[in-house]
Amino acid sequence: MSSVNDQDSLRYEIMEWKEKRNAIILAHNYELPEIQDIADVLGDSLTLARAAAQTYADVIVFCGVHFMAETAAILNPDKTVLLPDIHAGCSLADSITLADLRNWKSAYPDAAVVSYINTSAEVKAESDYCCTSSNAIKVVESIPEEKEILFLPDMFLGAYVQRATGRKNMHIWMGECHVHAGISPADVDNVFRDYPDAELLIHPECGCSTSSMYLLSEGQLPKERTHLLSTGGMLERAKNSPSSQFIIATETGILHQMEKENPNKTFIAANRSAVCPFMKMITLPKVLESLKENQHVVSVSETIRQRARLPIDRMIAIG
């Protein structure tokens, strides 16, 4: 663990190198607090994709995981995209391969493929639409009702979208994020006992999301205090809600920003062990080294990039 003085020195040097390289630092809401605090743009996957598409910087330092840096590279073929730790992967993205998707498509040749942003560039290139948790419902609703849909790779997000849209002709890949899948209904129940008046904010990827939707429909969870939201949606709700206590069912990294923006409110993790080891791989020394040495460039072949660009553009346009 570096000291406060060490971190101050690292931050100062990072800012110097960022200026030298005309770089922008994008960071996901699940990153370490010190990484969140140096970001030019901090947000969920959709926010960061939009920022990557709009930036005038020459270098994009992506403090997130590999598929996010790939998305930035797809959107910016003339810019340098750096990932401070090349081993920062994603268990959800790894749950489906290009071969898997092609085999699945062969069984449903007329279906539209909707890929969650948490996928490889190759899988995106084989898709018709991309989506994030904040716009997945809108993306599915934009597709004609008679059209079959293959939704991948997260089964919990897929179940949430299917229930919200009422689509009967939607097939869902059985993948999961191991961190979110580990947040169980029992976790929520246990925390609710200690904070019965709190609002419950649930990420749709969570293992508790399907049961929570059922309990919500049965009136066993308070409708006015239970919300399924993206990480960006959670941050907005935390700021705008009159509630003073919130149970947060997602990766715990988001608590830093919530507490920073709302010092008079209390935020409780539904499961304190919901920590993504890949997100936590990015550190201040690695960001500095990446900038200084132009280290860990993430690129995508032009063939894949051109094909993957369309579903990503559709995702950004749908909003």
Binding-site entries = 28, 45, 90, 116-118, 133, 177, 203-205, 231, 276
Packed helices 302-318 and 45-54: angle between N→C axes, nearest 10 degrees:
110
- Which helix (H) or strand (E) covers residue 247, if one does? strand 245-249
Q: Please, what sign has the CA dihedral across residues 52, 53, 54, 60?
A: positive
Buried b (16+ CB within 10 A) or exposed e, 135-167: bbbebbeebeeeeebbbbbbbbbbbbbbbebeb
Q: How far is it, in rounded angstroms, from Cα 1 to Cα 177? A: 28
Q: List, as residue ranges, the binding site for [4Fe-4S] cluster.
A: 90, 177, 276
C-alpha span between 280 and 270 (Å, rounded):
19
Residues making up the annotated binding site for iminosuccinate are: 28, 45, 116-118, 133, 203-205, 231
Residues 60/79, Cβ–Cβ less than 8 Å: yes
Q: Which residue has the tokens 């370490």?
A: 32
Length of the chain counted residue by residue: 319
Q: Which two tokens stand for residue 83?
A: 């990932």
Q: Are strands 41-43 and 23-28 parallel, antiparallel or unpaired?
A: parallel
